[in-house]
Amino acid sequence: MNFETSTIGLASDHTGFGLKEVIKKYLEKRGLKYTDFGACSTERSDYTDFAHLLGKAIESHELEAGIALCGTGNGMAITLNKYPSIRAGLAWSAEISGLVSGHNKANILIIPARYVTEEEALKIVEAYLDTPFEGGRHLTRIEKILSA
């Protein structure tokens, strides 16, 4: 995925809102474009509402990739992985995030907002954006996922 030329979709619930705002500033600093699907505040909201907006944008090829946040990340991951063309990977460290990109070619990175600091979240995003897909045996596994 070439993040330099594509727009990254962002989605969070109220729990992930603060980190999403930090990530937006990081993306801007890197000169990357994004579309923010919400949430727009820390007022209580349902992650599903924003996950579906991001999921539909990727499913329709409006966007190629995204970053989503909620408390544990599991709600976003479960919701987004219902879409056939989405491989959403949950990462709570930069190392795992690199594997989400390098091995799983995930088109959505999920971050558990309650369990990472701002500094950790930015390292997670950086690893996701900067780790290329390795292909090889990992491509074979992705093909098996897609053929199910």
107-141 tens-digit pLDDT:
999 999 999 999 999 999 999 999 998 778 888 88
Alpha-carbon span 43 to 116, nearest angstrom? 20
In terms of Cα–Cα distance, which of 98, 93, 53 is closest to 73?
A: 93
Beta strand 108-112 with 88-90 is parallel
Q: Tell me which of 137 and 79 has the higher pLDDT.
A: 79
17-75 tens-digit pLDDT:
999 999 999 999 999 999 999 999 999 999 999 999 999 999 999 999 999 999 999 99
43 contact partners, CB below 8 Å, separation of at least 6? 14
Beta strand 33-36 with 65-70 is unpaired
The active-site residue out of 14, 40, 61, 103 is 103
pLDDT score for 2: 64
The active-site residue out of 14, 40, 70, 138 is 70
Q: Is 40 a catalytic residue?
A: no
Residue 69 carries which side chain, given as an amino acid letter? L
Entry field: residues in the chain: 148
